Amino acid sequence: MVRAAVLPAVGAPLEITGIDLPEPGPGQVRIRLAAAGVCHSDLSLSNGTMRVPVPAVLGHEGAGTVVAVGEGVTHVAPGAEVVLNWAPSCGSCHACSLGEVWLCANALNGAADTHARRSSDGTDLHPGLNVAAFAEETVVAASCVLPLPEGVPLTDAALLGCAVLTGYGAVHHSAQVRPGETVAVYGVGGVGLAALQSARIAGAGRIVAVDVSPEKEELARGAGATDYVVASETTAREIRGLTDKQGVDVAIECVGRATTIRTAWESTRRGGRTTVVGIGGKDQQVTFNALEIFHWGRTLSGCVYGNSDPAKDLPVLAEHIRAGRLDLGALVTERIGLDGIPAAFENMLAGRGGRALVVF
How far, in Å, CA of 187 to CA of 194, rounded? 11
Q: Do residues 16 and 107 both lie within one domain?
A: yes
Per-residue CA distances from 289 to 124, 128, 355 (Å): 49, 39, 37
Q: Are residues 140 and 172 in the same domain?
A: no
* Structural domains of the chain, count: 2
Q: How far apart are CA 63 and CA 309, in angstroms?
A: 17
112 pLDDT more than 60: no
Give pLDDT tens digits for 170-194.
999 999 999 999 999 999 999 999 9
pLDDT band for 115, please (50, 70, 90 cuts). low
Domain hosting residue 68, numbered range:
2-148+328-359
Please tell me whether the overall predicted TM-score, pTM, comes out greater than 0.85 for this model. yes
Co-location of 58 and 185 in the same domain:
no
Contact by Cβ (8 Å): 157, 83: yes
Comparison of pLDDT for 353 and 201, the residue scoring more: 201
What's at 164, amino acid-wise? V
Nearest to 304 by CA among 155, 166, 147: 166
**What is the spatial distance between Cα 59 and Cα 38, in angstroms, rounded to a whole number?**
7
Whether omega before 55 lies within 30 degrees of 0, making that bond cis, reads: yes
Residue 315 in domain: no
Find the mean pLDDT for residues 312-317: 96
User: Smallest Cα–Cα separation from 188: which of 230, 156, 158, 157?
Assistant: 230
- For residue 347, tell me if it sits in a domain: yes
Q: What are the residues facing 249 on neighbouring strands?
A: none
pLDDT digits (tens, 9 = 90+) for 55-110: 999 999 999 999 999 999 999 999 999 999 999 999 999 999 999 999 999 998 86
Distance CA 25, CA 122 (A): 19
Calpha distance 256→223 (Å, rounded): 21
pLDDT band at 348 (very low <50, low <70, confident <90, very high): confident
Give the contacts of 354 (CB within 8 A, at least 6 positions apart): 188, 189, 190, 193, 216, 219, 331, 332, 333
CATH of the domain at 103: 3.90.180.10
Residues 142 and 170 both lie in one domain = no
Inside any domain, residue 212: yes
